[in-house]
Structure 1
Amino acid sequence: MIIFKCIDWLLDRVITPIVSIIGVFVALAFVVGIIARSYLGIAFFGMEELILIAVIWFYMLGAMLASKEGAHLQADFIPVIVKNEKVVVIFRIAATVISILMAGLFISWSNELFQWALKRNQTTPVFSIPIYVSQASLLIAAVFMTLYLVRDLVNEIRTLSCHKKSSTPAKR
């Protein structure tokens, strides 16, 4: 599907470098903060809020990338118990449908949280960064993860239909 190729391109070219940059920033910020406090006796006010916002975005963007690659955590014990590939695919379809429903709830909740933050117009104490900056990451990640779950569902249904075609006896 062409839309997923465009989304993949966006994630590969834009999001992956951003995740790398955020990761380096967080690591350096911790090192600088620890050295400054422990050895120099200097406290960088506001460093914690910058790190917190960066870590939230890091985690959510990473979750998007994991969804793209299918690298998120799974308790996939069905193939160990069941040897029939068709039954395994049916279980995967059911799990993906449940995941899509849960992701839909996550979209709804994160959208409500984001809308609430926009209305309240709260900011961080030191740098006055709007709270919705970090909460937007939840909504964006939820939308992308849901899109990739839909992609996975379509692929699993295709796999099931291929199994049905191959298990049907050839007509003479």
Structure 2
Amino acid sequence: MIIFKCIDWLLDRIIAPIVAIIGLFVALSFVVGITARSFLGIPLFGVEELVLIAVIWFYMLGAILASKNSAHLRADFIPVVIKNEKVILAFRIIATVISILMAGLFVLWSNELFQWALQRSQTTPVFSIPMYVSQVSLLTAALFMTLYLVRDLINDIQALCHKKDSSTPIQR
């Protein structure tokens, strides 16, 4: 599906470098903060709120990349118990539909949180960064995860429709 290939290309070119940059920022912030406080006796006010916002975005962007690569954690015991590939695919489809429903709820909840943050106009104490800057990351991640779950559902349905025998292992 060409739309997913375009989105994947954009994510690889945009989000993956941003995740690397945020990871470096967080690590360096900890080093600088600890060094300044412990060895120089200088507290750096506001570093914690910058790190908190960065970590939230880091985690949510990482979740998007994990969804893109189907690398998120899963407790998949069905293939251990059942050997029929069509049955395994059917269970995977059921699990993906449930995941889509849950992700849809996360989209609704994170959108409500974002809308609430826009209405309240709350900011961080030191740098006055609007709270929605970190909260929109939840909505972004929920939207992308839902998108990739739909992709997985389409792929699994296609695989089930084209499955001829149970000897060929399925791949995701």
Interval containing the TM-score (normalised by the shorter chain): over 0.9
Partners in 1 of 2:73 and 2:149 — Cα distance?
14
Which digits, 9 at most, give the CA deviation of each residue in 1:55-98, with x for residues without a partner? 00000000000000000000011000001111000000000000
Deviation at 1:2, TM superposition (A): 1.4
Q: Considering only CA atoms, is the larger Rg found in Structure 1 or Structure 2? A: 1
What's 2:6 paired with? 6
What's 2:155 paired with? 155
Partners in 2 of 1:115 and 1:59 — Cα distance?
21
What's 2:36 paired with? 36
Deviation at 1:10, TM superposition (A): 1.0
What's 1:20 paired with? 20
Partners in 2 of 1:130 and 1:10 — Cα distance?
27
What's 2:170 paired with? none
Partners in 2 of 1:75 and 1:85 — Cα distance?
17
Residue 120 of structure 1 aligns with an amino acid whose one-letter code is R
Point out the structure with the larger helix share: 1
Q: Does 1:128 align with 2:128?
A: yes
Partners in 1 of 2:80 and 2:159 — Cα distance?
19
What's 2:62 paired with? 62
Q: How many pairs were matched up?
A: 165
Residue 146 of structure 1 aligns with an amino acid whose one-letter code is T
What's 1:46 paired with? 46
- Give the TM-score normalised by structure 1: 0.95
Displacement over 4 Å in runs of 4+:
none
Deviation at 1:107, TM superposition (A): 0.1
What's 2:71 paired with? 71
CA RMSD for the aligned pairs? Answer: 0.6
Deviation at 1:127, TM superposition (A): 0.1
Partners in 1 of 2:32 and 2:21 — Cα distance?
16
Partners in 1 of 2:82 and 2:59 — Cα distance?
34
| SS in structure 1 at match of 2:39 | helix
Structure 1: segments with no counterpart, 5+ residues: 168-172
Which digits, 9 at most, give the CA deviation of each residue in 1:24-62, with x for residues without a partner? 000000011011111110000000000000000000000
Residue 54 of structure 1 aligns with an amino acid whose one-letter code is A
- Give the TM-score normalised by structure 2: 0.95
| SS in structure 2 at match of 1:53 | helix
Deviation at 1:139, TM superposition (A): 0.2
What's 1:143 paired with? 143
Residue 159 of structure 1 aligns with an amino acid whose one-letter code is A
Partners in 1 of 2:40 and 2:57 — Cα distance?
30
What's 2:169 paired with? none
Partners in 1 of 2:86 and 2:5 — Cα distance?
28
What's 1:170 paired with? none
